[in-house]
Chain A
Amino acid sequence: MIWDNAFAISIIPMLLKGLWVTIQLTLLGTLIAAVLGLVAAVIRRLNIPVLSPLVSFMVIFIRGTPLLIQAYVAFFVLPIYGISFNAFTTGVVIIGINYSAYMAEVYRSGIQGVPAGQWEAATALSLPPVRTWCRVILPQAVRTVIPMLGNYLIQMFKDSAVLSAITVVELMATAQSIGTSTYRYLEPLTMAGALFLLVSYPASRLVNKMERRYAPKQ
C-alpha cells in the first residue's frame, strides 16, 4: 500500500469533524470527572457511615474494570432496564464517571498534602466545617493537583477513542469508517493519529507550564 496524497487531503474535513467530537467528549467528560471526583474525595475524607465506604467501593470498582466494559454495559445492557441515552451522551457520562474515580484519588492526595496546621488554624479560629473546606482546604488542595488533572484530561482525550466501540462518531470511529468504506486504512489511521498528537502535544506542554506555576509555595 502506497500513501495517496490526494486521498489523504480529501478526508481531512471528515477527520476534523471527528476531532471536534473527540474534543467535545473530552471537555464535557473532564468537567463531569472533575466535579464528581472532588465530591467523591471529600465524601471519602469525611468518613460518613455507609456513604463513605460506598463511595470508596465505587472508586475501587470503577478503577478495577476496563472502560470498554463500562461503556458496553452502559450502552448495550442498561437500555434493557429502560435506561438509554444516545451514544454521545452515554459516552460522555461513562468516561466522566470513569475518570472521576481516578481524579478522586488525585484530589485525595491534594487534600492530604494540605498541612495539618491549616486544619488546626481553622479549628483555632472556630471556622465552620463548610467554610474550612471551601475557603481553606480545597483551594490549596486543588491548586496543587491542577497539573495532574491536566494530565488526566490529555489521557482522556486519547482514551475517548475507546468510545468508538459504542458508536460515538469521534475521530477514531471516523477514521475506521473511512477505512471500511474505501479499503484504505493507511491514510485515515495515520492522519487520525497525527491529529491526536497535534492536539495532545501542545496540551502536555501547557500542563508542564502549569506544573511550574502551581508548584506548592510557602
Chain B
Amino acid sequence: MHPSNDSYSADAARPDAAFPGGPRTDRITGLPTGSAPIVAGGPIVAFDNVSKNWGENQVLKALNFNVNPGEKVSIIGPSGSGKTTILRILMTLESPTDGQVHVDGDVLWNVKHGDKIRETKVMRATRRKIGMVFQGFNLFPHMTALENIIEAPVHVLGMNKAEARDRAAELLQLVGLGAHMNHTPPQLSGGQQQRVAIARALAMRPKVLLFDEPTSALDPELIGEVLNVIRNLANSTDMTMLMVTHEMRFAEEISDRVVMFDHGSAVEGGPPEQIFKNPQEERTRAFLQAVLKH
C-alpha cells in the first residue's frame, strides 16, 4: 500500500509485515522519521534525584533515570518497587516529593522537599508530549471508540473534526479495529478496549508513550492481541516507549533496554539479553527466578 517510504529504509529489516498499511512512522508519531534513535540531543526523559514519599514510605529514592529518544525501555520489578510511580509522575498524575524531571528538554517537575505542588503552564505544555496507556484502559464509556479518539485532537490540538475522524479511522485500522469505530467500550472486549486506548493515545502524537501494565487487567486469551499491537508499534516507530510490565518474554523481545527496580531505585539496567540471561545483581536474579518459574 505504501511501497516507497524513503525515510523508513534504514529500518527496512524490521519485522513490520504485521502492519497492513506499511510502516508509516511519521503518520503515527508525527515525528520526522529517520534511523532511530537520535541520541544527539540528550535524553528525552530525565529524572534527576527524584524522590517520592507516601508518608513514611519512600516509593522512589533519589532516582536518576534517563531514557533516550526513540528508546524502548521496559521497567520490571516486584510490586511496590516504584515502577508505576515513575510513569504516573511523568504523566503528572502524581507529583514527586523532591527532584527534577525533564521531558524533551522542558521542565516537567522541579520540586524541593516541602514545596506546595501547583500545576504550571510549562507543565501543561510539556505534558502534551506524553501519552499513556493504562492498566484499566480508562476509555470514556459513554463515547464510541471514534469519539474517544477524536476528543483530545479536536479539543486540545484544535484539529478540525473531519481530519481527526480520518486519522482516528486510520488508527483504529492500525490496531485492527477498523470495523468497531462506532462501538462503545461496554460493547468491546478488554483486549479491544485496550487497543482503542492505544489508538487514542497515539492520536495525540506523543513523543513519549507510557504503558502501565497494559495487559495485567486482561483475560489470558486477550493478552496476545494487545501485545501484537504494542510490538508492531515498537518495531515501526521512532516514538519513545516506556513500559511497566510483567510480561517478561515480551519485554525481552521488544525492549532496547530493561531496567530492574526494587524498593524505589533502579537495581540494574541493560540490554534485555544481559538482564534476562546474565543478571549482575542478586535481587534481579531472585526476582526473575520467582516470576519465570511458573
Contact = CB atoms under 8 A, between A and B. Distances in A.
Interface of A: 115, 117-118, 120-121, 123-128, 131, 135-136, 139-140, 143, 217-218
Interface in B50-85: none
Given A126-B124, A218-B185, A139 B152 contact: no
24 contacts: A117-B134, A120-B93, A120-B138, A121-B134, A121-B138, A121-B140, A123-B91, A123-B92, A124-B93, A124-B131, A124-B132, A124-B134, A124-B201, A125-B152, A125-B156, A126-B127, A126-B128, A127-B151, A127-B152, A135-B151, A140-B140, A218-B141, A218-B185, A218-B186
Nearest to A137: B140
A126 B156 contact: yes
Q: How large is the interface on B (under 10, 10 to 19, 20 to 34, 35 or more residues)?
A: 20 to 34
Contacts of B118: none
B201 A131 contact: no
B30 interface: no
A124 B91 contact: yes
A120 B90 CA distance: 12
Contacts of B294: none
B204 interface: yes
Interface in B139-198: 139-142, 151-152, 155-156, 185-186
Contacts of A131: 155
Interface of B: 91-93, 124, 127-128, 130-132, 134, 136-142, 151-152, 155-156, 185-186, 200-201, 204
A139 B147 CA distance: 14
A118 B124 contact: no
B120 to A, nearest CB: 14
Q: 6 closest pairs, A vs B, by CB?
A: A125-B152, A117-B138, A121-B138, A124-B132, A218-B141, A217-B186
A140 B92 CA distance: 24
Given A126-B204, A127-B152, A217-B186, A139 B132 contact: no
Contacts of B139: 121
Nearest to A216: B141
Contacts of A218: 141, 185-186
B127 A120 contact: no
Nearest to B206: A124
B136 A117 contact: yes
Contact of B141 (A123, A125, A127, A217): A217
A83 to B, nearest CB: 41
B211 to A, nearest CB: 12
Contacts of B132: 120, 124
A140 B142 contact: yes
Nearest to B134: A117
Nearest to A117: B138
Contacts of A135: 140, 151, 155
B185 A127 contact: no
Contacts of A118: 138, 140
B187 to A, nearest CB: 10
Nearest to A120: B93
A9 B182 CA distance: 56
A74 to B, nearest CB: 39
B91 A125 contact: no
Given A126-B127, A126-B156, A217-B186, A140 B136 contact: no
